[in-house]
Structure 1
Amino acid sequence: MKFYIITLLLCGCVMGVDIDKNTFSNYREVQMQHLHIEWLLNLNQKIIDGSAEYTFRVTTAELKEVHLDIYQMDIKYAYYPNFGKVLDWHVESDPKQSLIQGDKLIIELGQSFRYGDIFKLRIKYQIGEQARALSFMNIEQTDDKKAPYLFSQCEANNCRSMIPLQDTPSIKFTYSASVLTQDQQINVFMSGLPVENTKFSLMEQYNLNGIANIFQFELKIKIPSYLIAIVAGTVQERKTSDRTSVISEAKNIEIYQKELEHLDKYVKYLEDYIGDYKWGFYKIVILPASFPFGGMENPLLTFANPSIIVGDKSGISVAIHEIAHSWFGNTVTCNNWSNMWINEGFCVFLERKGLLQHYESIDLVYVNSLVGNDEMNALIKEFNSNHDPVIKSYASLHPITENHNADDSFSTIPYERGYQLLLYLEKLVSEDKFQLLLQAWLQQNQYQSVDENDFYNFMIAWIQSNFSMKDFLYIKQQIDSVYIKWIYNTDAPPYKYGFINDASLLATNLAEDWASSRPGEQPQGYEIFDKFQSNQKQLFLSSLLKKNLDPVTMKQLDSTYNLTNNLDAELLFRWYTLSIQTKYATDFTNLKKIRTFVSKIGRMKMINPIYKALDKKTAETWYNENIRFYHPLARQSIENIIKNKGLDVNVELL
């Protein structure tokens, strides 16, 4: 498609090159092309002996050193694999950054490489429980109670605790892996396709040939480091179609398979809107409940929390969201974590296009949007109330992440604020034209890392090519009046969407009726709650969180809808938070149920609000009871909540 680039004269919106300030690597001078990992798993001892071999391409005039990101890692040695020359290396550490972002591993190459040169080097290392990307689970913490369990979570900058590498979304590379385990019960899956006959040097080093299981994988599509993923345990795979399947421990796999039986249909929903699914297979792993997120979009191996399995398929929005990442996030990727909305805002937009086909009602889709909008506005208010300019920036679409753990900036903001910007643009250019624009954006930038400036320039050029000059100038004027403000300002988005419709009004009006009813009395029409979709019930409870309810009304609500014993975790965490806030959860029975909930669910979206609502002493007690259960990222988040008992800057949204 021909774009007429006279936009330099017309633009006025260019924001400059955005580099990744959360990596210590010299990725602008040398870039990973391929990574081969070899791991020997010892899940009982919670240790991994690792080897990483890199294929690098030089992108500067002269290169004498390679700088890589590491976090709490025991480096053994580095060498050239082709001729065995051992290289000098040292770790450059900033005490203020070591436990926040990690350290810089500097490898001295012993020679100079020139622009365009390709070379390989290998690093031997060891990691353990200090690797914050990894959750090592004891046998008693698993569902099957047969063997230990391991899973990873690398987004945002946590892969550097698992592998020394250029831990930045700016760099994409292919990878292969060979994983060895001596426990015959352990099965391994990674975010790549299983292969055979990959060279495995650790076999000779440890003399384990014939007495261990070897799992080998490769991914020929380039990805950023945060999409490397592994799960190891007594896990098995069940197909739901020729190209989709579910993976989990045996205990609940039939339940999970049934709940996710329409995975292929969800993939087709999104293909109808954005184009063919290019990754081949789609697999979703239902992890143990300690997984800190609702879902994680690792290619070929989506991770999900079991809280999305409700029994009525009401949790499928998470599955559709993670599938949507196959296009936005995994194929076109943000080039740094200040541009996370390039992944998540686009993904929410595509997710809700898929939900429109699922619900066959824009009203029900907008109920999801309204729930997200309310959560976003509450966070914008919280972030803006903080005097720290870094925390305040988290209310924008371009948070400050330099010298901070990028995870701290994660919230519902890039999801919902980004989604609303795209919705505004769609309404400006029309649904049909915006669909074509997104398809062209994806095609031109597939397998690349980009930022908001890239999207702006592409969008302006595309609109210029596809509209009359009069319409183009009008549309561009409208975009330029809001684009930078929408991204960089910390207040509410310039254009406010209410998303109010008949489906949402049923929920919000019922909440209002309960709030205004006499204590102990049911409002007229209370029975309609039982006919609500799950997202309407979520909206109902979210609306009640804004009200001043007394314990008597809370008791009547509970008696009427049996909310304390609900099986939908999306409803439970909202109800439990409300119960604490209104002091309804003062009797032993209710407190025990909430205490049990936070001991069995590690999903930060659901436990963080509860910990925030608790008094400090109770929060500390419950956290100490469950510290071994929680994933390292959840521990970090809850510790921040307890420390501050105020603003929670690590909010998970799915």
Structure 2
Amino acid sequence: MAPLDPHSYADSAQPLTTSVDLAFFLDFDSKTILGSATLHLSYAYTGELYLDTRCLHISSIVGPIDEPLSYVVDEPQPIKGSLLRVSLTNHSSFTVVYTTDPSASALQWLDPAQTAGKRLPYLLTQCQAVHARSIFPCQDTPLARIKYSAKVNVPKEMKVVMSAAHLGRSAPSAAEAKGACHESKWLMEGRIVEYFNMEQTIPPYLFAMAVGDIVHADLSPRSRVYTEPSELEAAANEFSGTEAMMLQGEALFGPYAWERLDLLVLPPSFPYGGMENPRMVFLTPTVIVGDKSGVQVVAHELAHSWTGNLITNATNDDFWLNEGFTTYAERRIVEALEGKERALLHVGLGWTGLKEEMERFKERPEFTKLKTNQDGVDPDEIYSQVPYEKGFHFLCRIEAEVGRNTFDNFLKKYISRFRFTSINTETFLQFLKEQFPGIENKIDLDVWVYQPGIPSDAIEPESAILQRVLALAKGFNSGIRVSEEDCSSWQALEWQIYLESLPRKLQADQISELNERFHFSENHNWEIKVAFLTIAAFSGYEPCFPEIESALHSVGRMKYLRPLYSGLLQSSSQAKELARCVFADAKHKYHPIAQAVVQGLLLKFDQ
């Protein structure tokens, strides 16, 4: 017997779950889900079956004929949560009835005041990396790919969306309530049940649900955008090119396997830029800026439909297989639609970020490797751009060695060979060597995969526009400034690269000069605004403290929270006090994952 995954209790000697039937009653007053989960196993099993849970309150566990099954819930561990041991006797299925906790790490319950319309409450989920276990008991490892069905009981004025096919909506029935989950509440008046089914196998972290005042607009026959009513027109305009991206993705990587690509724009507390939930991509509203400069996020989440969702990393130790491949695929889509120069700007921005991550992890070099050892490590704590950008450059190095046309054929073979499976790094390397005999003699695979840092043969991005932007940023402290001629054709991406390439700490007069000239702190593009405010935070520039405070209250995207809080906490005593006060006041607005990340920064820097 041995664990399958450093972040899961699932055991290699036990059967894996193949499908789960879920029934949820959403109680917005108590901020809990009254749930039942019927788990179907790959074969009938006798003995203790290990499941992952976090803060689930188990009411009962029964077999197929409602016979009670004995179980034990172990004491919780900081990262894994609690091991649920279910005693089975030749069982291939069983049902767990339970209630989630208001503190569930995957769930964020928003009051109406925290939404755009301020009319109804809202619920959103975020299960990556190891948070599905706080919604339903499962083998919470990517190795346990599951199908699922769900019926969700909500107030009738609310809309449910899920990472699954929507089957319909009807009044609650007594037949489905019996034994499903908290039968007496299921039939309450003023409620409706929505039905979903996911026929393709997914890792548990791709389970996703949102509930609220949600409407939609069609983008194409196989794509819609969902938002709150006040955001719909802007979102539909911003993402009008989704179908063109899908067609380009199919041309590069093969048929789209998930039937639909719908997009959900969430309230600003969503902790990520996007989440690649199949059939229903989740997006932060910060990507809606009016000029379509944020659609690169959609390209990334779309690319996951082939690399990440169709082929998944076996564990978080192999996370680069998801994100390195997807970053490569995203930039190929951008290159095809916008041209090589624009794609190279994205590569240049990523290269700058990769070098910053090397500095961030200089005392923990393990996490600058592609293949990591995360045993005993919270994956949210060490989440970084390394698997994205170093993984991307590894694939670029292979492409440069074998040629683009050959590499494109390799990618299609890779996706075809491993579709709907979860693999580890070693499986990929073996496939690579099979396809390109002797590749290990031309590229030092060990250095790229198992050693820390950026390999010496990584290909640094070069383009005329990129080099000019970087030269202007490098010369800032020497008095070189951006001229009107320089920036006359710049788009948001050039400004973001420029700001993120400036020194993190500048003098007060330099920051004042930048802001007076370009009004960065008032920019409607969050990438530009936060890049500038990060400099102000690290520099302890007090005139920008009100804008920093407003930003930290307005969004919960960790890409923005991490640098702003980090800057304040490594700056002046006044800046540290601002960070403490803002977090105390704003943390209830953040998703539990973001709360934990910022709390970790406070513990690290606020000594």
Q: Under a length normalisation based on structure 1, what TM-score does the superposition of the two structures give?
A: 0.87
Note the C-alpha offset of 1:242: 0.5
Q: Name the residue aligned to 2:156.
A: 184
Aligned mate of 1:394, from 348, 367, 376: 367
1:63 aligns to 2:34 (yes or no): no
1:609-628 paired onto structure 2 within 5 Å: 609-615=563-569, 616-628=576-588
1:388-408 C-alpha deviation (Å, 9 max, x unpaired): xxx431111122221222222
1:561 aligns to 2:534 (yes or no): no
Q: Name the residue aligned to 1:381.
A: 359
Q: Name the residue aligned to 1:489.
A: 451
Q: Name the residue aligned to 1:155.
A: 128
Cα distance in structure 2, aligned partners of 1:21 and 1:586: 44
User: CA, structure 1 residues 27+295, in 2 after alignment: closer, same or farther (shift >3 Å)?
Assistant: farther
1:645 aligns to 2:585 (yes or no): no
1:538 aligns to 2:496 (yes or no): yes
Q: Name the residue aligned to 1:603.
A: 557
Note the C-alpha offset of 1:159: 0.3
1:415-564 paired onto structure 2 within 5 Å: 415-463=388-436, 472-473=437-438, 475-479=439-443, 482-517=444-479, 523=481, 525-545=483-503, 549-564=506-521
> 1:602 is matched by which residue type in structure 2?
G
Q: Name the residue aligned to 1:287.
A: 266
Q: Secondary structure at the match of 1:330?
A: coil
Check conservation: 1:27, 1:171, Cα contact below 8 A. Answer: no
> 2:250 is matched by which residue type in structure 1?
E
Note the C-alpha offset of 1:260: 0.6
Residue ranges of structure 2 left out of the alignment (5+ in a row): 570-575
1:409 aligns to 2:382 (yes or no): yes
Aligned mate of 1:593, from 547, 551, 563: 547
Structure scoring higher RCO (CA < 8 A, sep ≥ 6) equals 1
Check conservation: 2:371, 2:425, Cα contact below 8 A. Answer: no
Residue ranges of structure 1 left out of the alignment (5+ in a row): 1-16, 464-471, 648-654
Number of residue pairs aligned between Structure 1 and Structure 2 = 593
User: CA, structure 1 residues 524+263, in 2 after alignment: closer, same or farther (shift >3 Å)?
Assistant: closer
User: CA, structure 1 residues 505+440, in 2 after alignment: closer, same or farther (shift >3 Å)?
Assistant: same
User: CA, structure 1 residues 524+378, in 2 after alignment: closer, same or farther (shift >3 Å)?
Assistant: closer
Q: Name the residue aligned to 2:56.
A: 73
Q: Name the residue aligned to 2:327.
A: 348
Q: Secondary structure at the match of 2:351?
A: helix
> 1:104 is matched by which residue type in structure 2?
L
Note the C-alpha offset of 1:209: 7.0
1:29 aligns to 2:11 (yes or no): no
Q: Secondary structure at the match of 1:408?
A: coil
Check conservation: 1:417, 1:493, Cα contact below 8 A. Answer: no
> 1:68 is matched by which residue type in structure 2?
L
Note the C-alpha offset of 1:211: 4.0
Cα distance in structure 2, aligned partners of 1:632 and 1:484: 37
Cα distance in structure 2, aligned partners of 1:500 and 1:644: 36
Q: Name the residue aligned to 1:171.
A: 144
Where does structure 1 differ by over 6 angstroms across 4 or more consecutive aligned residues? none
User: CA, structure 1 residues 379+207, in 2 after alignment: closer, same or farther (shift >3 Å)?
Assistant: closer
Check conservation: 2:380, 2:597, Cα contact below 8 A. Answer: no
Q: Name the residue aligned to 2:29.
A: 44
Cα distance in structure 2, aligned partners of 1:498 and 1:533: 22
Note the C-alpha offset of 1:491: 2.0
Note the C-alpha offset of 1:364: 2.1
Note the C-alpha offset of 1:377: 1.4
1:54-203 paired onto structure 2 within 5 Å: 54-58=39-43, 63-80=46-63, 82-93=64-75, 97=77, 99-109=78-88, 111=89, 113=90, 119-181=92-154, 183-196=155-168, 200-201=176-177, 202=180
Q: Secondary structure at the match of 1:67?
A: strand
Q: Secondary structure at the match of 1:602?
A: coil
Check conservation: 1:18, 1:451, Cα contact below 8 A. Answer: no
> 1:299 is matched by which residue type in structure 2?
P
Cα distance in structure 2, aligned partners of 1:398 and 1:266: 30
Q: Name the residue aligned to 1:306.
A: 285
1:222 aligns to 2:201 (yes or no): yes
Cα distance in structure 2, aligned partners of 1:212 and 1:535: 46
1:344-387 C-alpha deviation (Å, 9 max, x unpaired): 00000000000102221x22212111211111112112212x2x
Note the C-alpha offset of 1:158: 0.3
Cα distance in structure 1, aligned partners of 2:148 and 2:463: 47
1:83-142 C-alpha deviation (Å, 9 max, x unpaired): 111011111225xx2x32201000111x2x3xxxx7110000001321100000011111
Q: Name the residue aligned to 1:3.
A: none
Cα distance in structure 2, aligned partners of 1:122 and 1:542: 51
1:320-342 C-alpha deviation (Å, 9 max, x unpaired): 00000000000000010000001
Cα distance in structure 1, aligned partners of 2:21 and 2:347: 41
User: CA, structure 1 residues 144+514, in 2 after alignment: closer, same or farther (shift >3 Å)?
Assistant: same
Q: Under a length normalisation based on structure 2, what TM-score does the superposition of the two structures give?
A: 0.94
Check conservation: 1:27, 1:166, Cα contact below 8 A. Answer: no
1:257-312 C-alpha deviation (Å, 9 max, x unpaired): 11111111111121111111111110111000000000000001100101111110
> 2:551 is matched by which residue type in structure 1?
F
1:450-499 C-alpha deviation (Å, 9 max, x unpaired): 01111111111122xxxxxxxx43x34113xx212211211222423220
User: CA, structure 1 residues 337+150, in 2 after alignment: closer, same or farther (shift >3 Å)?
Assistant: same
Cα distance in structure 2, aligned partners of 1:28 and 1:315: 45
Check conservation: 1:44, 1:148, Cα contact below 8 A. Answer: no
1:407-463 C-alpha deviation (Å, 9 max, x unpaired): 223210000010000000011111001111110011011000101111111111122
1:626-652 C-alpha deviation (Å, 9 max, x unpaired): 0110110111000111111189xxxxx
Aligned-residue Cα RMSD (Å) equals 2.0
Q: Secondary structure at the match of 1:176?
A: strand
Cα distance in structure 2, aligned partners of 1:417 and 1:646: 30
